[in-house]
Amino acid sequence: MFVHAQVAWSHFYWPKVRLSLGPSFRPSSNLAFVSMLRFLVLLVLESTAAWKWMENIKMPSLQNLQRGGRFGEKKLVVITGTSSGLGKATAKALLRANDYHVVGAVRDLEKMQVVAELEGFDMDSFTPMQVDLASFESVKAFTEELDKFRGDRPIDRLVCNAAVYQPTLAYPKWTEDGHEQQLQINYLSHFLLTSRVMPMMTDSEDARVVMIGSVTGNDNTVGGGGVYPIADLKELDGLELGCKKPIAMMDGYNFNGAKMYKDTKLALMMTTNMLHERFHRSTGIAFSSIYPGCIAETPLFREKRPWFRKYFPIFMKYITGGYVGEEEAGSRLFQVLHDPACTKSGVYWSWNGGPREGRGAALDTGGQITGAGGAGGGWESIFENDQSDKVLNKDLMQKLWESTNEITKAEWPLAYQPKSPCPTLKVVTAATSILGILEEQARMKATEEGEKIVANRTLPKEVRRSELEKMLSKLDRTPADPEAFARDMALTSGAVPEEVGEVDVEKTVASLRGTDGVAVVDASELDWDVPEVKNTEPPQMIPGHEVLGDTQVVFQPQNVMTMARAGQPLSEVATQADVFIPYRCKKGECKTCAVNIGGKWVCACQTKIQAQKPGESFEIKVRPRDESYKQQEKAAFFSPKSFLDGVVNNGLGVFGFVKEGLAADPDFQVRMEREKAVQELLAQRKAGSHAGSAGSKVSVGKLRGPKNVKAPKASMKGQETVTDEHGREFVLPGLAMTAGLLLSIIQHYRPS
């Protein structure tokens, strides 16, 4: 402060002051007075500047005295929907990296507990927290709990992943807030969630918000523009009028469940762009959306009929080439959250792939095409995808933003793209356009008497809403018969089909958990020889994989190297390295996934990466695959060869679809057994908790909900510890800590 007082004093004397203060002004007295006054003002200003550095110092509190900085150097990641599908696979990938503490935002904490046990989550780095996205109040409560839980640490990543898909009902389901379930869970609540978490991210040096989009919301591709219903928000009349019961659709017309899902994905992608334009420059947060590929076996399709769940993965493998497994999709989302190259904002991330190439090779790889020409592809195959005109419609984007803000009461801190020349898009679009037009006209015809109401903006909003509600109420197809309604609800509840029958829970759980060692296979049972490795060059590390683990894993004869962590499933590491291994039962029984490790044949699906000595690698020999199609010369679009290749590839795809379809039952049975095992374990857990039993291997203190408080641990030597209502342990400052704090302040202030 004395330094700043000297600065103020240097301005004290004015040798050439001339003041027009009237005839009574006397320089000898008035000059001294004014000079002294100026000195005092400058002293206050300079003193304020002297202490300005202290504004970033937080006084000792429970939050910033948390023992050991609880999270260490780990980044905080919030993911919605981590109990299944993409969210679960991404959480596993983040936990393996050991650089993140993951907050799993889930509706059912007990289910998350069961899944965490089965998947072997590191509960020291994973915290489940309860949120019901079908309730705005639950979202608000979650963000308040999250803010307290994080202490003074910023949130580094937010992933809006959770979603429901309800295409089979002819009428909508409603949330407690009066909105259609898909609309609120997939879109509205994530919009509100983002607005409330963003202020917690501004202090992060590398903050990223990722929305899970979909090819179905981007209509410049086959999946989005060639399959009815097409994502189309029209003029957002329904959302403008509140989208409350009975107004289900954002466009204001009659309900279509499949269209609503696609519309919510379109809305999420548009919101990502709006967030980028409004907040990226001022906050530094990177906003992006992704499409990780079609995870055809995910529980997202739990409300589709059993025949669809059985054959859809095969269709995606052989007909479209867009199939992606959960582990691969999880590694893709992990890349966007982890890779330094993915800090760009306003991007729609995708991975290379297309439906036209490599169909012959697909027959040899179970339909899973890897690398260029398929949905597969490793770390290096990511690219910035084009967004459709609808996604980039800024006028509609602004209306979407304003209407959603009005509905959610969210509070925030203050184009045209060319269509893909792919012939498949044009052919499929032309073939389905008539059907799409007829279907859309039928849906809108049901509300034609409300056409004048929906589109007539000269009427007051209240009148339009009232008339539209009356009209849609007349069209409501909800069964009046309670039994019929109950059957419909059971049909779309996500329950495992009845034909699965009884499940051996212990055996199924064992197959889910895998083994810590290797499952040895008798080589005499196999009809192929050990692959001969002829590579003389040292294996090449795949670019970008250096940061994925601490154990070198080499695949031969591909001669590629990746990094993994000890205990990581081999099947996930192979997917990560873009190495194809065929799977059938995933129980270690069918032998289709056999690989050779150290001269022994083992089942890849039951094998985990083993720790190696420094400098050594974990080497796996797999059956080589024909990838000659990757080097074939590609024909130009619309050339005779292009059409001939299309006929051949499509024919091979149909053949593969029929061939695999005939053998679909075993795969489907295994998937349903696993889902049923999780359901039964959850039922047992809930029954046990209701009876007061402690049947969980995961500490209840790890879960975030009301009344979850850890018991106090022993105090640190010489210091007192306390535990707050969130189960976190803190150290109260003792004499040594207080002295250290004072010394640090003195050191910081000492003039140079």
Encode pLDDT of 283-315 as tens digits: 999 999 998 877 767 766 666 667 676 766 767
* Average pLDDT of the segment spanning 117-130: 92
Structure tokens at 357: 């190439």
Average confidence (pLDDT) over 700-710: 47
CB of 255 closer than 8 Å to CB of 248: yes
pLDDT on residue 470: 85
Within 13 Å of residue 379, how many CA atoms lie on the same side as its CB? 24
* Cα separation values, 27 from 20, 38, 42, 75, 144, Å: 11, 15, 21, 65, 63
**Helical H runs in 514-639?**
570-576
Cα gap 232→217, rounded to integer Å: 8
Place of tokens 């099947």: 571
**Mean per-residue pLDDT, 561-579:** 85
pLDDT at 239 over 50: yes
Residue type (1 letter), 113: Q
Strands 208-212 and 617-621: unpaired
Out of 366-380, 508-522, 619-633, least confident range: 366-380
Averaged pLDDT score across all residues of the chain: 76
pLDDT for residue 112 is more than 50: yes
pLDDT at 186 over 90: yes
| Residues 22, 25, 31, 32, CA torsion sign | negative
95-104 pLDDT, tens digit each: 988 899 999 9
Q: What is the pLDDT of residues 424-468, one digit of tens each?
A: 656 666 666 777 777 777 777 766 666 667 777 788 888 888 888
CA 249, 165, 310: angle at the middle one, nearest 5? Answer: 140
Element (H, E) at 556: strand 551-556
Instruction: Note the CATH architecture for domain 514-631.
Output: Roll (3.10)
Alpha-carbon distances of 572 from 65, 89, 93, 553, 683, rounded to whole Å:
39, 10, 9, 12, 29
**Under 8 Å CB-to-CB from 78, ≥6 apart: which residues?**
103, 105, 146, 155, 157, 158, 159, 197
Name the E strands within 48-185.
75-80, 100-106, 126-130, 157-160
Q: Is the distance from CB of 487 to CB of 480 less than 8 angstroms?
A: no
Mean pLDDT of 556-562: 88
Q: Using alpha carbons, select from 218, 90, 81, 232 the residue that is nearest to residue 163.
A: 81
Q: Which of 73-77, 201-205, 504-508, 558-562 has the lowest mean pLDDT?
A: 504-508
In whole angstroms, how far apart are CA 410 and each of 156, 201, 717?
Answer: 21, 17, 46
Structure tokens at 69: 């900085």
Closest CA to 265 of 212, 226, 209: 212
* pLDDT given for residue 196 in this prediction: 97
**CATH number, domain 67-305+326-352+383-407+415-491:** 3.40.50.720
The rounded percent of the chain whose pLDDT value lies above 70 is 66
C-alpha span between 443 and 229 (Å, rounded): 11
Q: Residue 552's beta-bridge partner residues?
A: 563, 617
Residue found under tokens 């209502």: 725
Is residue 550 over pLDDT 80? yes
Q: Please give the distance of CA 437 from its chain centroid, rounded to a whole number.
A: 33
- Choose the most confident range, by mean pLDDT, from 210-219, 325-334, 365-374: 325-334
Top pLDDT among 283 and 723 is at 283
Is the per-residue pLDDT at 33 higher than 60? no
pLDDT recorded at residue 134: 96
The continuous run of DSSP H or E covering 562 comes out as strand 560-564
Higher-scoring residue by pLDDT: 305, 251? 251
For residue 569, list its beta bridge partners.
608
pLDDT in tens, 464-492: 888 888 888 888 889 889 888 888 887 77
Does position 647 have pLDDT exceeding 80, yes or no?
Answer: no
More confident residue, 363 or 557: 557
